[in-house]
Structure 1
């Protein structure tokens, strides 16, 4: 399911390119399990994740005066929501390599909005949505709360560089218990269009990734990032 609201946006172009930057162990786990890991929302580094802006919080507090459980629900709800984050960009991002990989290792999965939609398998036990993150001023701007997914599709303006597309799942109405996150079923071949190896990695590292992917039976195009290619002068 995909959120349709004037407050939530998602490009209609299925060819929009998105990226996920990750280390080799997380990538290997994805291939072996044929599942996509989604992090619990309250485990993210940003402490504001899934919370409200100041104008919205003031309104919620007024409602909670006569209904204290209303506020308690939003506090505990973060533990029941899991997220997979993707970076929307036509090209590789030097900043994303720096933030999400280390020691000149790691890789980037290239996909598209259309591929993600096709790769996600229908879930019977919980709701699942995809949406584009809105970046706002949390001191001045309002976050709607007529849908419980909305707080997870807004972030502070200081995170605009992330250009984030999110897959969001809510397990509140299921018996699923989550610690750090949840793995959901995906079609790996449909999800991944191409794999880029870290631009500063050694050749042996690229060969290792190619060998692993082939031995696991995947026919995915793999190439080394050219962000660090030789200059022409």
Structure 2
């Protein structure tokens, strides 16, 4: 279920458009099991996930001198936080297609922040928080640590192109042993507004996706990306 945290910032407009770019196998897994995968925070490629900027770390080290458990908590906490990443953008992103779809058979889910909140209502075991990521200079800027979620809502400026909106869940209290991540229940019909097919895909691929979606009992709007449409000249 979605919980609001007053310390976490999020665009106020519930109609803010968000995207998730993924390959067909992950998409079918989402539809078949109606569960969203959330990755363990320390399994992301970016080794800085869930860590602190240099100015913040200096403060933490001072506190940890008399309280070693303080620093250990932040290191171990990364293993208990899971994340689902979304891209906030009014339009499709050429960069996102390139990065998150490995071939011409990927697709993109278009949703909104409002839809995302509603879709998460099905999950009764894990609480989810939604927040926007802030991009800072990790050598100069400070990350506050008065909220346990803050380390997961900041990234280096090199990742600004991601315009990331995150679903974050802390499962520490569940005392689970998480490998790569976990799956949470979602209302698929509320989550997905439109499905966009990879701009470089063939017509047969759109037909295949359309038929698969229908056989699984869904009737989402399915569009071919127009990033590769014919030029008008």
Instruction: Please give the TM-score of this superposition, normalised by the length of structure 1.
Output: 0.97
| Unpaired stretches in structure 2, ≥5 consecutive residues | none
Q: Distance in 2 between matches of 1:63 and 1:122?
A: 40
The answer as to 2:80 corresponding to 1:80 is: yes
**Could you tell me whether the CA contact under 8 Å between 1:2 and 1:131 is conserved in 2?**
no
Q: Distance in 2 between matches of 1:177 and 1:11?
A: 33
Spell out the pairing of 1:92-131 with structure 2 (5 A cutoff): 92-121=92-121, 123-131=123-131
What residue in structure 2 maps to residue 145 of structure 1? 145
What residue in structure 2 maps to residue 12 of structure 1? 12
In the TM superposition, residue 130 of structure 1 has moved relative to its aligned partner by 0.6
What residue in structure 2 maps to residue 63 of structure 1? 63
* Deviation per residue, 1:128-179 (Å, 9 max, x gap): 2110000011011111111111100000011000000000001001032211
What residue in structure 2 maps to residue 178 of structure 1? 178
Name the SS of the counterpart of 1:120 in structure 2.
helix
In the TM superposition, residue 124 of structure 1 has moved relative to its aligned partner by 4.6
In the TM superposition, residue 4 of structure 1 has moved relative to its aligned partner by 1.6
For the aligned residue pairs, the C-alpha RMSD in angstroms reads 1.0
Spell out the pairing of 1:6-45 with structure 2 (5 A cutoff): 8-45=8-45
Q: Distance in 2 between matches of 1:125 and 1:28?
A: 23
**Could you tell me whether the CA contact under 8 Å between 1:18 and 1:87 is conserved in 2?**
yes
Instruction: Please give the TM-score of this superposition, normalised by the length of structure 2.
Output: 0.97
Q: Distance in 2 between matches of 1:127 and 1:227?
A: 37
Task: Check 1:104–1:122 CA distance in 2 against 1; reply closer, same or farther (3 A cut).
Answer: closer
Q: Number of matched residues?
A: 231
Task: Check 1:201–1:122 CA distance in 2 against 1; reply closer, same or farther (3 A cut).
Answer: closer
What residue in structure 2 maps to residue 2 of structure 1? 4
Task: Check 1:74–1:37 CA distance in 2 against 1; reply closer, same or farther (3 A cut).
Answer: same
Task: Check 1:104–1:163 CA distance in 2 against 1; reply closer, same or farther (3 A cut).
Answer: same
| Deviating 4+ runs (over 6 angstroms) | none
**Could you tell me whether the CA contact under 8 Å between 1:42 and 1:50 is conserved in 2?**
yes
Name the SS of the counterpart of 1:84 in structure 2.
strand
Q: Distance in 2 between matches of 1:122 and 1:208?
A: 29
| Unpaired stretches in structure 1, ≥5 consecutive residues | none
Task: Check 1:122–1:223 CA distance in 2 against 1; reply closer, same or farther (3 A cut).
Answer: closer
Give the stretch that moved more between structures: 216-225 or 173-182. 173-182
